Amino acid sequence: MDILVWLIPAALALGLIGLAAFLYALRSGQFEDLDGAAARILFDDETPRKKDPR
Amino acid sequence: MSVLGRAPAAEAPQSAPACAHCGAPVPPGAGRFCCAGCEGAHHLVQGLGLEAFYRKRAMAAGTLRPVEAPPADFAAHALEEKPGLHRLELVVSGLTCGACVWLVEQALHAEPDVRRARANLSTRRLTLAWEGPAARANDFAALIARLGFRVAPFSPACLRASDDAEGRELLRALGIAAFGAMNVMLVSVPVWAGIDMGEQTRHLMHWLAALIGMPTVLVAGMPLYRGAWRGLRAGRLNMDSAVSLGVLATTAMSFSETLRNGEYTWFDGATALLALMLAGRLLDRAARRRARQSVAELLALQEGQVQVLGAPAPVPVERVAPGARILVAAGERLRLDAVLESEEALLDTAATTGESLPRRFSRGEALAAGGVNMGAPFVARVTARAAEGSLAAMGRLIERAEQARGRFPALADRAARIYVPIAHAIALLTFLGWWFLGGLPWQAALVPAVAALIITCPCGLAIAVPSVQVVTSGALFRRGVLVASATALERLASADHVVLDKTGTLTEGRPRLLPGDWTEEDLRAAASLARASRHPLAQALLRACPDAPLAEGAVETPGQGLALGEARLGAAGFCGLPPDPRGMSLHFTRPGHPPVVFRFEDSLREDAAAAVAAFRAAGLGVELLSGDAPEVVERVAAEVGIAAWEGGASPARKAARIAELAAQGRRVLMVGDGVNDAAALACAHVSAAPASGMDVAQAASDFVLQGGGLLPLAEAVERARRAQRVAAQNIGFSFLYNIVAVPVAIAGYATPLIAALVMASSSLAVIGNALRLEGGGRR
């Protein structure tokens, strides 16, 4: 059962990383436009993009 | 991009004679474009090197035709984020595919001072940031308008309508609950399976589960607890209170079991239940989000600015004071109550009174807000500010009626009202029974009681109705019927009488050429003159003869007519003829030909008669109620086959008629589009408005009909009834599950495993049942 000492924290840490990524994505507005995101991937940036100040 | 690559790209959509920009049909020999606007837009796109757009777009032909930019001042809406950096939020109508998003963003990025341009496809919202003066806002708006999109500033009203803070919070809570549920499961499953787990290990597992479960329940449950609290304060038990009590009691009991190292903890059940509830709630919202966004978009486009005499730029409606003199351009909607100061004005009052013929007003007459100027530009003196005018009064009436309707109890809430007290009573009796009669210590007696609570927790019940709503709203959305309010489907299902408005609802709300005493050649010559004008009658003439070439050099006298050399098309006086008292008509004179007159009428929608028949087939009584002249109403009623009709009805009369029907115990579905219908719409049992109607009408409605077809609404009645049946079945299903599972729980045999099985399988059964609706719709 000693293995639990490693396995459980490792599993929880992985889960927490996922949760943190989800919360980050939510906060940075990545869930705002799911339809648009699906379409956007089909287009190349043909004009050179300027630096985004964000 | 190479020169070789460019030519075929631009030519590609030209297999049929279609406009190279908007894709609308082009008369043969007229070139590659349907109008000068499209030609300009195409050159603009080409100049920016963005022709890839034409290959990748997916949109209806003709939607991208540039129209004149609205006379709005966008600079006033720009916000200064940092010194020198301005931000602007715009609604971009016509943004229907990924290619449009790309085109708009790239075109704006090509401007040297634009720092950020991001269009949102779901909300049609464009966020734009640039370095430089606020006045640049107008240039950017004009640029987008030249590409063929309609733009409007994002007003606070439509921001409220489209902002989805609550949805975001639900999503966040769902994420947390899902994380919690999965990780608690990780430590709980070994306990259920628990083959050779020592006491100590089990205790460790319990503590771990508590450590993950308790914060999860606390944080992720907030949206539900708030709903429960609101219900309690209003003295009602609702679904939220049942779920909240179940989840919190389970958590508390599990914590007590953790402390005394009991056999099982139930944190997994509590968190999974929470995740399921939140998912149901989120789906329910998503089903109505699209409808809300469409309405917000319409609101933004109709949000008006007015030309105040003496003011340098157009002024937002709400800032115009009484006494101000405003100029109403030809084709513009009058947005404020006013007194006419010009000699004469011709107003289309279809939206406010339902009359299909434009009415002539003379100096000093009062004009009600909502009319459209069909004649020459006129000057009027404002008599009431927007917040006190007739439109606002209508808005208040609607609000009052909405509040009354908001109290309509949703089916799920009605079920919960009976169900929740019973479930709680059972749990309490179980606890008392085991404690006093069974002789268990109170902590142990708590276990079966809470098990009963969590198993009866209306999990299937809470998903039963949302799942049906999601499937049905989705199916209706694809047919152009937007469901705007939460209980709309339930009310539509119970409707037994339909009251239809005429203008704009049964009819197109736009004029159509009648057959008359003229030749094809006359029509062709007149239509090519008419091509130069945006007047509604000229447009109607053009629709009757769409391939007429543009007559070069035609001169328009606004509100009077068009002249080209000796040829004249327009009002009788303009053509030098004696005045013509009869309704909508255009006179046409040219040298060497006798004068002709084109007459128009408001034509019926194609599906009007079919829709009336479908309403009847669904068992609804049909009635026509219009503000138009009785003889017109009678003719339309006969044409679509409605026996009960009433003409000349004022807005108050309409509302009174609805109330009359309601007093007879009928549940009325009201369909109307105008300001004059708004009160009737709001006090009807359930209501629908075409998307082409007035914003007040849509605000008062449960359904918005995109494309304006009535037939989809008639079919929606049947669909809503089927949805109701399935929702009732679903509720029955969840009850059945409980009747089986509750005795097990009371007897103390329930384990977290059984609870999980019951919960998951009842939810799946309910969702599966709801999905049948989707299949049934493709008959």
- What the block records as the tokens of B759 is 């919960």
Per-residue model confidence (pLDDT) at position B67: 60
CATH number belonging to domain B1-154: 3.30.70.100
B52 and A43 within 8 Å at the Cβ level: the answer is: yes
Residue B106 Cα, gap to closest chain A Cα (Å): 7
Residue among B97, B122, B179 whose CB faces A19 most closely: B179
The set of residues, in sequence order, having a beta carbon less than 8 Å from that of B358 and lying 6+ positions away, is B346, B347, B348, B349, B374, B375, B584
Q: CA-nearest residue of chain A to B211?
A: A12
Per-residue model confidence (pLDDT) at position B80: 81
B123 and A32 within 8 Å at the Cβ level: the answer is: yes
Of residues B253 and B302, more confidence is placed in B253
Give the integer Cα–Cα distance in Å for B123 and B146: 21
Do residues B541 and B598 lie in contact, with contact meaning Cβ atoms separated by under 8 Å? yes
Residue A42 Cα, gap to closest chain B Cα (Å): 8
Per-residue model confidence (pLDDT) at position A51: 43
Per-residue pLDDT reduced to its tens digit, A3-35? 878 888 898 899 999 999 999 998 888 887 777
Q: Does B119 touch chain A (CB under 8 A)?
A: yes
Give the mean model confidence (pLDDT) for residues B253-258.
90
Residue among B49, B172, B204 whose CB faces A46 most closely: B49
Do residues B126 and B119 lie in contact, with contact meaning Cβ atoms separated by under 8 Å? yes
Domain B305-388 falls under CATH 3.40.50.1820 = no
Mind giving me the DSSP string for B236-281?
A: ---HHHHHHHHHHHHHHHHHHHHHTT-S---HHHHHHHHHHHHHHH
Do residues B492 and B702 lie in contact, with contact meaning Cβ atoms separated by under 8 Å? yes
B52 and A12 within 8 Å at the Cβ level: the answer is: no
CA B628, distance to chain mean position in Å, is 28
Q: Does B290 touch chain A (CB under 8 A)?
A: no
Residue A40 Cα, gap to closest chain B Cα (Å): 6
Per-residue model confidence (pLDDT) at position B4: 36
- Report, in angstroms and rounded to the nearest whole number, the Rg of chain B calculated over CA atoms: 32
**Selection from B187, B83, B352 nearest residue A4 by Cα:** B187
Residue B238 Cα, gap to closest chain A Cα (Å): 30
Q: Does B55 touch chain A (CB under 8 A)?
A: no
**Selection from B429, B458, B442, B446 nearest residue B264 by Cα:** B446
A47 and B116 within 8 Å at the Cβ level: the answer is: no
**Selection from B33, B97, B25, B32 nearest residue B59 by Cα:** B97
Give the mean model confidence (pLDDT) for residues B45-58.
74
Phi-psi label, residue B280: left if phi above 0, alpha if psi -120 to 50, beta otherwise: alpha
The sign one gets for the Cα dihedral B732, B734, B737, B743 is negative
Domain B510-603 falls under CATH 3.40.1110.10 = yes
Per-residue pLDDT reduced to its tens digit, B320-375? 888 888 888 766 778 788 888 888 787 777 666 666 666 778 888 888 777 777 76
The set of residues, in sequence order, having a beta carbon less than 8 Å from that of B219 and lying 6+ positions away, is B173, B176
Q: CA-nearest residue of chain A to B171?
A: A26
Residue A6 Cα, gap to closest chain B Cα (Å): 14
Per-residue pLDDT reduced to its tens digit, B115-173? 888 888 777 788 888 888 888 888 888 888 878 787 777 766 555 555 667 788 889 99
Which pLDDT band, with edges at 50, 70 and 90, does B749 fall under? confident
Catalytic residue among B501, B607, B677, B702: B501
Mutation target among B1, B50, B57, B106 for the A interface, most CBs of A within 10 A = B106
A19 and B201 within 8 Å at the Cβ level: the answer is: no
Give the integer Cα–Cα distance in Å for B279 and B246: 17
Statement: residue B626 has pLDDT above 80: yes
B706-733 b/e with 16+ CB inside 10 Å = b? bebbbbbbbbbbbbbbbbbebbebbbeb
- What the block records as the tokens of A54 is 């964000």
Give the integer Cα–Cα distance in Å for B378 and B361: 11
A40 and B48 within 8 Å at the Cβ level: the answer is: no
Statement: residue B480 has pLDDT above 50: yes
Amino acid at B490: E
Per-residue model confidence (pLDDT) at position B32: 74
Where do the structural domains in chain B lie, given as residue ranges? 1-154, 165-287+408-468+723-776, 305-388, 482-508+605-717, 510-603
Residue among B48, B129, B179 whose CB faces A15 most closely: B179
B49 and A47 within 8 Å at the Cβ level: the answer is: yes
Mutation target among B51, B96, B120, B205 for the A interface, most CBs of A within 10 A = B120
Give the Cβ contact number of residue B112 at 10 Å: 9
> B275 contacts in A (CB within 8 Å)?
none
**Which A positions 1-54 lie with beta carbon below 8 A of chain B?**
1, 4, 8, 11-12, 15-16, 18-19, 22-23, 26, 31-36, 38-40, 42-43, 46-47, 49-50, 52-54
From residue B558, give the alpha-carbon distance in Å to each of B528, B550, B588, B623: 17, 18, 16, 39
Mind giving me the DSSP string for B569-601?
A: EE-TTTTT-----SSSEEEEE-TTS--EEEEEE
Per-residue model confidence (pLDDT) at position B468: 85
Q: Does B50 touch chain A (CB under 8 A)?
A: yes
Please write down the long-range contacts of B577-585, taking CB distance under 8 Å and 24 or more positions apart: B583/B357, B584/B357, B584/B358, B584/B511, B584/B537, B585/B537
> B56 contacts in A (CB within 8 Å)?
42-43
Q: B312, exposed or middle or buried, with CB in 10 Å at 0-12, 13-18, 19+?
A: exposed
Per-residue model confidence (pLDDT) at position B212: 92
> B172 contacts in A (CB within 8 Å)?
23, 26
**Selection from B264, B267, B255, B251 nearest residue B185 by Cα:** B267
Statement: residue B291 has pLDDT above 90: no
- B671 three-state secondary structure: strand
Statement: residue B7 has pLDDT above 70: no
| Kind of pairing between the strands at B114-120 and B79-82 | unpaired
**Selection from B285, B275, B290 nearest residue B167 by Cα:** B285
The set of residues, in sequence order, having a beta carbon less than 8 Å from that of B497 and lying 6+ positions away, is B620, B621, B622, B623, B661, B666, B667, B668, B669
Which pLDDT band, with edges at 50, 70 and 90, does B2 fall under? very low
> A12 contacts in B (CB within 8 Å)?
183, 212
Which pLDDT band, with edges at 50, 70 and 90, does B251 fall under? very high
Q: CA-nearest residue of chain A to B112?
A: A50
CATH number belonging to domain B482-508+605-717: 3.40.50.1000
Please write down the long-range contacts of B163-172, taking CB distance under 8 Å and 24 or more positions apart: B164/B285, B164/B289, B166/B223, B166/B285, B167/B282, B167/B285, B167/B286, B167/B289, B168/A26, B168/A31, B169/B222, B169/B223, B170/B223, B170/B278, B170/B281, B170/B282, B170/B285, B171/A26, B171/A31, B171/B282, B172/A23, B172/A26
Residue B95 Cα, gap to closest chain A Cα (Å): 10
Per-residue pLDDT reduced to its tens digit, B408-417? 567 777 777 7
B673 in catalytic set: no
Which of B1-15, B299-313, B390-404, B751-765 is least confident? Answer: B1-15
A46 and B50 within 8 Å at the Cβ level: the answer is: yes
Of residues A13 and B459, more confidence is placed in A13
B171 and A19 within 8 Å at the Cβ level: the answer is: no
> A16 contacts in B (CB within 8 Å)?
179
- What the block records as the tokens of B350 is 């279809």
Residue among A8, A22, A38 whose CB faces B187 most closely: A8
A4 and B204 within 8 Å at the Cβ level: the answer is: yes
DSSP-derived letter for residue B149 is -
Per-residue model confidence (pLDDT) at position B695: 64
Residue among A11, A32, A43 whose CB faces B186 most closely: A11
CA B617, distance to chain mean position in Å, is 27
Per-residue model confidence (pLDDT) at position B218: 94
A47 and B102 within 8 Å at the Cβ level: the answer is: no
Do residues B238 and B413 lie in contact, with contact meaning Cβ atoms separated by under 8 Å? yes
> B114 contacts in A (CB within 8 Å)?
50
- What the block records as the tokens of B50 is 């963005």
A36 and B101 within 8 Å at the Cβ level: the answer is: yes
Do residues B107 and B144 lie in contact, with contact meaning Cβ atoms separated by under 8 Å? yes
Alpha helix segments (H runs only) across B110-164: 136-147, 156-162
Give the integer Cα–Cα distance in Å for B750 and B767: 24
A36 and B98 within 8 Å at the Cβ level: the answer is: yes
Residue A19 Cα, gap to closest chain B Cα (Å): 7
Give the integer Cα–Cα distance in Å for B40 and B38: 5
Which of B95-104, B296-305, B471-480, B655-664 is least confident? Answer: B296-305
Of residues B554 and B433, more confidence is placed in B433
Residue among A15, A36, A47 whose CB faces B109 most closely: A47
Give the integer Cα–Cα distance in Å for B733 and B456: 12
Site of tokens 């309403």: B615
Q: CA-nearest residue of chain B to A29?
A: B168
> A30 contacts in B (CB within 8 Å)?
none
- B436 three-state secondary structure: helix
> B110 contacts in A (CB within 8 Å)?
47
Q: At what angle do helices B630-640 and B608-617 cross, to 10 degrees?
A: 70
Which pLDDT band, with edges at 50, 70 and 90, does B174 fall under? very high
